[in-house]
Amino acid sequence: MKPDIKKRRLELNLTLEEVGNIVGVGKSTVRKWETGDIENMKRDKIVKLANALKVSPSYIMGFEEEPKDEPTTGFETIAAHLDGELTEEQWKKVIEYARFIQDNDNK
């Protein structure tokens, strides 16, 4: 499932340049993410893009079908700093575990 980054950006009335500034990349890079020309994003960029679009990193990675209007958690930001130290499968488990903890704390 490919996330619709452009649709989400437009829903938030953000320009390519604004998103690029938040993420720390040029607007051409954001455009390439939107069109699928760049498929492999670094984990820190995934988290920053998720923050910019007010969605979860799971949505950016295509694990969730619909964006959730919620800010990225601090835990996900910390996990992004482990870039290169976790496999994709481990990354999924980190996010699942963080959500499990959040869900149990909110009960």
| pLDDT tens per residue, range 39-86 | 788 888 999 999 899 888 888 888 877 766 555 555 555 655 555 566
Q: For residue 32, what is the domain's CATH number?
A: 1.10.260.40
User: 75 lies in which domain range?
Assistant: 5-105
pTM above 0.85, yes or no: no
- Maximum C-alpha span of the chain: 43
Structure-token match 């699942």, residue found: 96
User: Taking Cα atoms as reference points, which of 30, 52, 105, 44 lies closest to residue 77?
Assistant: 44
Give the rounded percent of residues in the chain with a pLDDT score beyond 90: 32
Counting the structural domains of the chain, the total is 1
